[in-house]
Chains A and B, each alone.
Chain A
Amino acid sequence: MTTLIDAPPSDADALLPPRKKQGGGGLGQYILVRFLLIFPTILILVTMVFFLMRITGDPITAAMGGRLPPDQLQQRIHAAGYDRPLIVQYFEYLGQLATGNFGTTLSDNRKVTEMLTTYGSATLELSINALIIALLVGIPLGMIAAQRRDHLPDAVLRVLAILFYATPVFFAGMLLKLVFSVWLGWLPVAGRAGTRTELSLTALEAPTGIYWLDALRSGNMAAFSDVMSHAVLPAVALGFLTAGVFLRLVRTNVIGTLGKDYVEAGRSRGVSEFRLVTKHAYKPALIPIITVMGLQIAVMLGGAVLTEKTFEWKGLGFQLANYLTARDFVAVQGIVVLLAVIVAVTNFIVDIIAALIDPRVRY
């Protein structure tokens, strides 16, 4: 008898500890695993980029071939160690990367790390501006489309979202430039700031490299408005591209949650439609949105390359295009590796945020 009575609690005890362990150590373990996964991702990309770029030959021949006599070319290749076995070079390159040494560019003889930090801040600024515009435009419009589903506003917004997607960012930028800079003359044509502003901003001590932040910190309002007027068009061009994606994402997910029972329950209690969409339906729809935002960062970096080229925005993308033209593959490789790291790290952060919001994500 006693054994029979005792049995259920011991059974429950046997079941509970593992479950509790899963719940308690879940988040920490999840973060650790995700964090460790960053490294193989980066390693794979670095390996692929390294070997793919070397299939075509060594960087010195690519950059200088035809411009130097063959014996001098050989000499330089030998001096840089590009005539050694590929596998030796690969491990040497990995070792250099681990110590933060990305090499020296061939075309303008600068340290790659220095080049990355100088231009990286410009790309960061552009991406932040564009992301702000994308969120401000995409999320409210997506909610409107979901709420007015299958009505005129929805139809217009959906077509608009597809149009945003279908327009290449450089074509959009070109049109914006044509209308607002050339024809109307309201905004500057290209660049990040006027020459005088640029000089005053780089003269600051410990500049962040993000111009509007620097201008605000120094309290230079003329510089701030100058920087802002330069920032508008590139941010709009890149931001609207992403806004279209957000719009569709918010719409689909809010429609999904609007059909849930608790929304119906809220409606029957007399909660206003506005509140239903912005509070009840929107919040659960946030998780897929955040997950996709992580992937969107990669799309945005690709778009940033094209936007920078269009607006002569002197960031990583602009430099990448220049180095590609100069066939400076050491610099190209450096930029690509940096972007790989950025993508891997943002994906990690996004996964963590998603796990914090929704425990189901981490099982």
Chain B
Amino acid sequence: MTAETPLEPVANPRAPFFRRLPVVSHFNKSVGLQRFMLVVGLVLTGIFLLTALTAPLLAPYGFAQLSDADGSFPTQQAPGGKHLLGTTVGGYDVLSRVIWGTQTALLVIIVAVVLSIFAGVILGLVSGYIGGWLDRILVVVADAIYAFPSLLVAIVMAIVISGGQSSLLGGILAAAISITVVFIPQYFRVIRAETIRLKAEPFVESAKVVGASNIRIMTRHIYRNATRTLPLIFTLNASESILTLAGLGFLGFGIEPSSAAEWGFDLNKALADTTSGIWWTGLFPGIAIVWTVLGLTLVGESINDLNDPRLRGRRRTGGGSSPAPVTTEALGAEVRTS
């Protein structure tokens, strides 16, 4: 078991492919509260994804629609009747914007996470494997960005990319790239640390002896092993990218309401409504943000806990994939209560 662990991280190698998938294997490992949290997270995330994919069917109106066959929409109308969740100060239908907002959020998550994994993994592999000067410079730069408030980095990037004004797909790209810059250092750190650790492993040395090129060692031998922890960072960063997007939108760096629905931007507009007691314009986009972030975070947290044997539910701490002998649990319980 010990010798093979680094090579075969995901549970039992003989299990069917489906059961070895990250989330599925985690589900099978989970017990009690942890399983509950994972399930709640999966359900919330699932509903979010489903809404994003079926937004055109679900939303009663378009995100930028201001009128229908009966004339213009009223402004700041309380929830009920034709507008289930009311209308905003600009006359938009709140429900429609909340539903369309899932698409914007999903697009930004995908672009941001894919870009940052791509850049972070390459930089981390190269920096960790080659070492030397390049490594030192990259580490100092990554640390400097990492230590800085991520929202400010995103703001600076938003200024650079779009001059602060966003329209259509450009807005989504601008937000996604701003978030990417924030995340690259995180992927970079993780991958670099793993690469340095793996570089000293015997299988890398034997690959060298056999005559494999550096690129082949990096892409075949190290890459496969160094990217084990990525699903975890992926889920955590997905939720953080939603928060960053909403923060940018709230500060007025959002995507224009006519080009896409964005929850943070809606909250920005709703801020003034709050003072006069109009709650529906802010409450629902806010709940949408919390919903999405909560779902993704619960999934990420659960995976994190399940990957760490010390934090995993106690019933299975005894050994690998098979249930632990009852004695371990009984002993633990005895010690705890005494």
B320 to chain A, nearest CB (A): 20
- Is A189's beta carbon under 8 Å from chain B? yes
Cα of A347 to Cα of B148 in the assembled complex, Å: 10
User: Quick check: A310 and B271 within 8 Å, CB to CB?
Assistant: yes
User: Quick check: B252 and A321 within 8 Å, CB to CB?
Assistant: yes
User: Quick check: B250 and A168 within 8 Å, CB to CB?
Assistant: yes
Cα of A181 to Cα of B32 in the assembled complex, Å: 41
Q: Which of A200-208, A282-290, A297-305 contacts B (4 or more CB under 8 A)?
A: A297-305
- Is A32's beta carbon under 8 Å from chain B? no
**Contacting residues, chain B, for A49 (C-beta < 8 A):** 156
Cα of A178 to Cα of B283 in the assembled complex, Å: 10
Interface residues of chain B: helix, strand, loop or mixed (majority): helix
A182-B277, A302-B152 as given contacts; A165 in contact with B270, CB under 8 Å: no
Residues 114 to 171 of chain A near chain B (Cβ within 8 Å)? 150, 154-155, 158-159, 162-163, 165-168, 170-171
- Is A277's beta carbon under 8 Å from chain B? no
Cα of A310 to Cα of B270 in the assembled complex, Å: 11
- Is A324's beta carbon under 8 Å from chain B? yes
**Contacting residues, chain A, for B313 (C-beta < 8 A):** 150
A52-B156, A256-B310 as given contacts; A40 in contact with B32, CB under 8 Å: no
**Contacting residues, chain B, for A252 (C-beta < 8 A):** 311
Residue of A nearest to B308 (CB): A252
B198 to chain A, nearest CB (A): 24
- Is B2's beta carbon under 8 Å from chain A? no
- Is A86's beta carbon under 8 Å from chain B? no
Count B interface residues, CB 8 Å. Answer: 54
**Contacting residues, chain A, for B314 (C-beta < 8 A):** 150
- Is B246's beta carbon under 8 Å from chain A? yes
Cα of A251 to Cα of B33 in the assembled complex, Å: 16
**Contacting residues, chain B, for A170 (C-beta < 8 A):** 246-247, 250, 267, 271
- Is B149's beta carbon under 8 Å from chain A? yes
Cα of A350 to Cα of B22 in the assembled complex, Å: 37
A20 to chain B, nearest CB (A): 30
**Contacting residues, chain B, for A167 (C-beta < 8 A):** 286, 289-290, 293
**Contacting residues, chain A, for B152 (C-beta < 8 A):** 301-302, 305, 336, 339
Name, among A166, A178, A329, the residue most crowded by chain B CB atoms within 10 Å (CB to CB): A166
User: Quick check: B271 and A343 within 8 Å, CB to CB?
Assistant: no
A166-B290, A168-B243 as given contacts; A306 in contact with B251, CB under 8 Å: yes
User: Quick check: A306 and B239 within 8 Å, CB to CB?
Assistant: no
- Is A210's beta carbon under 8 Å from chain B? no
**Contacting residues, chain B, for A325 (C-beta < 8 A):** 252
User: Quick check: A347 and B147 within 8 Å, CB to CB?
Assistant: yes
- Is B164's beta carbon under 8 Å from chain A? yes
Cα of A310 to Cα of B243 in the assembled complex, Å: 15
A47 to chain B, nearest CB (A): 10
A275 to chain B, nearest CB (A): 16
- Is B253's beta carbon under 8 Å from chain A? yes
User: Quick check: B252 and A302 within 8 Å, CB to CB?
Assistant: no
User: Quick check: A168 and B247 within 8 Å, CB to CB?
Assistant: yes
Cα of A343 to Cα of B146 in the assembled complex, Å: 11
Cα of A325 to Cα of B252 in the assembled complex, Å: 7
Mask: chain B, 93-125; 1 = CB below 8 Å from A; 0 = not: 000000000000000000000000000000000
User: Quick check: B251 and A175 within 8 Å, CB to CB?
Assistant: no
A260 to chain B, nearest CB (A): 12
User: Quick check: A174 and B144 within 8 Å, CB to CB?
Assistant: no
User: Quick check: A150 and B33 within 8 Å, CB to CB?
Assistant: yes
- Is B163's beta carbon under 8 Å from chain A? yes
User: Quick check: B239 and A166 within 8 Å, CB to CB?
Assistant: yes
Mask: chain A, 188-218; 1 = CB below 8 Å from B; 0 = not: 0110000000000000000000000000000
User: Quick check: B286 and A309 within 8 Å, CB to CB?
Assistant: no
User: Quick check: B163 and A62 within 8 Å, CB to CB?
Assistant: yes
**Contacting residues, chain A, for B145 (C-beta < 8 A):** 45, 48
User: Quick check: B150 and A302 within 8 Å, CB to CB?
Assistant: yes
- Is A358's beta carbon under 8 Å from chain B? no
- Is A295's beta carbon under 8 Å from chain B? yes
User: Quick check: A40 and B140 within 8 Å, CB to CB?
Assistant: yes
- Is A327's beta carbon under 8 Å from chain B? yes
User: Quick check: B247 and A298 within 8 Å, CB to CB?
Assistant: no
Q: Which of B53-61, B62-70, B82-90, B294-302 contacts A (4 or more CB under 8 A)?
A: B294-302
User: Quick check: B140 and A44 within 8 Å, CB to CB?
Assistant: yes
Find B252's partner among A159, A175, A299, A324 (CB 8 Å cutoff). Answer: A324
User: Quick check: B164 and A327 within 8 Å, CB to CB?
Assistant: yes
A264 to chain B, nearest CB (A): 7
User: Quick check: B155 and A324 within 8 Å, CB to CB?
Assistant: yes
User: Quick check: A162 and B147 within 8 Å, CB to CB?
Assistant: no
User: Quick check: B301 and A162 within 8 Å, CB to CB?
Assistant: yes
Cα of A166 to Cα of B235 in the assembled complex, Å: 13
Find B147's partner among A181, A298, A327 (CB 8 Å cutoff). Answer: A298
A41-B143, A178-B282, A340-B148 known, 12 other contacts, Cβ within 8 Å:
A45-B148, A48-B145, A52-B157, A166-B289, A166-B297, A167-B290, A168-B246, A168-B264, A170-B247, A177-B274, A264-B335, A306-B151
Sample (25) of A-B pairs whose CB atoms are under 8 Å apart: A40-B144, A41-B143, A52-B159, A53-B160, A56-B159, A150-B32, A150-B313, A163-B294, A166-B239, A167-B286, A168-B286, A168-B289, A170-B271, A171-B282, A174-B270, A174-B282, A182-B277, A183-B277, A299-B149, A299-B150, A301-B152, A302-B150, A327-B164, A339-B148, A339-B149
Of all A-B residue pairs in the complex, the 9 with the closest CB atoms, nearest first, are A302-B149, A171-B286, A302-B151, A166-B293, A166-B294, A44-B144, A301-B149, A298-B149, A52-B160
